[in-house]
Amino acid sequence: MSGAVTDDLLGVCGLTHAYRGRPALEGVSFAVRPGEVVAVLGASGAGKSTLFRCITRLIEPDGGEVRLHGTDLLRLPRRSLGGARAEIGLIFQQFNLVRRLSARDNVLAGRLAEVPTWRVLARRFDPADEQLALACLDRVGLLAQADQRADRLSGGQQQRVAIARVLAQQSCVILADEPVASLDPAAARQVLDILRDIAREQGIVVLCSLHQVDLVDGFADRVLGLMGGALVLDVPVGAFDAAARTALYEPASKP
Partner 1 sequence: MTSPAATRVPPARVSRQRVGRAGILVLVVVAYLVAARLAEVDLAALAAGVPRMAEWAAKAWPPSTQGLDTLLLRAAETVSMALLGTTLALVLAVPTAVLAARNLTPEPWLRMPVRWLLNVFRGTDAFVFAILFVAAVGLGPFAGVLGVGLHTWGSMAKLFAEAIEGLPAGPLEAVATTGASRLKVVSFALLPDALPGLTSVVLYFLEFNIRASTVLGIVGAGGIGQELKSSMDLLNFPRLFTILVVILALVTVVDQLSSRVRARLG
User: Would you tell me which residues interact with partner 1 (CB under 8 A)?
Assistant: 56, 58, 82-86, 88-90, 92, 94-101, 105, 109-110, 112-113, 115, 117, 120-121, 162, 165, 169
Residue among 83 and 236 whose Cβ is closer to partner 1: 83
Our CA dihedral for 95, 151, 105, 118, rounded to 10 degrees, sits at -100
Considering the complex, what minimum distance in angstroms separates the CB of residue 237 from partner 1?
28
Q: How far apart are CA 35 and CA 164, in angstroms?
A: 17
Considering the complex, what minimum distance in angstroms separates the CB of residue 86 from partner 1?
3
Considering the complex, what minimum distance in angstroms separates the CB of residue 112 from partner 1?
4
Residue among 71 and 94 whose Cβ is closer to partner 1: 94
Q: How far apart are CA 116 and CA 246, in angstroms?
A: 51
Considering the complex, what minimum distance in angstroms separates the CB of residue 191 from partner 1?
16
Residue among 91 and 216 whose Cβ is closer to partner 1: 91
Q: How far apart are CA 75 and CA 168, in angstroms?
A: 27
- Contact by Cβ (8 Å): 91, 159: yes
Residue among 140 and 227 whose Cβ is closer to partner 1: 140
Considering the complex, what minimum distance in angstroms separates the CB of residue 96 from partner 1?
4
* Beta-strand relationship, 37-41 and 63-68: unpaired
Q: How many CB atoms lie within 10 A of CB 52?
A: 23
- Contact by Cβ (8 Å): 15, 61: yes
Residue among 16 and 96 whose Cβ is closer to partner 1: 96
Q: How far apart are CA 86 and CA 173, in angstroms?
A: 10
